[in-house]
Amino acid sequence: MSVNPTKFLRDVRNEAKKVTWPTRRTTLVTTAAVLAMAAGASAFFFIVDQVIGFGIQTLFGL
């Protein structure tokens, strides 16, 4: 089995042409959604951690 770098690069270029790239607006909207979800998850886990910590302190009288 022989590897032909020229054919490989030509095939890669042809496949790259078939890719449907997202628009700038789509990229910005999905990035904002990911950041919002990360912020929401961070806030949720912070609040849960504080509640559990308060419960443990109350339970053990620390």
Please give the residue range of the domain that contains residue 31.
24-62
Q: Assess if residue 14 is contained within a domain.
A: no
Q: Assess if residue 40 is contained within a domain.
A: yes
Distance CA 35, CA 29 (A): 10
Distance CA 13, CA 36 (A): 36
What pLDDT is stored for residue 3 in this prediction? 80
**Is pLDDT above 70 for 1?**
no
Q: Mean pLDDT across the stretch 20-39?
A: 97
**Is pLDDT above 90 for 11?**
yes
Q: Assess if residue 60 is contained within a domain.
A: yes
Structural domain total, the chain = 1
Q: Assess if residue 49 is contained within a domain.
A: yes
**Is pLDDT above 80 for 35?**
yes
Q: Assess if residue 2 is contained within a domain.
A: no
Q: Assess if residue 62 is contained within a domain.
A: yes
Neighbours of 59 (CB within 10 A): 8
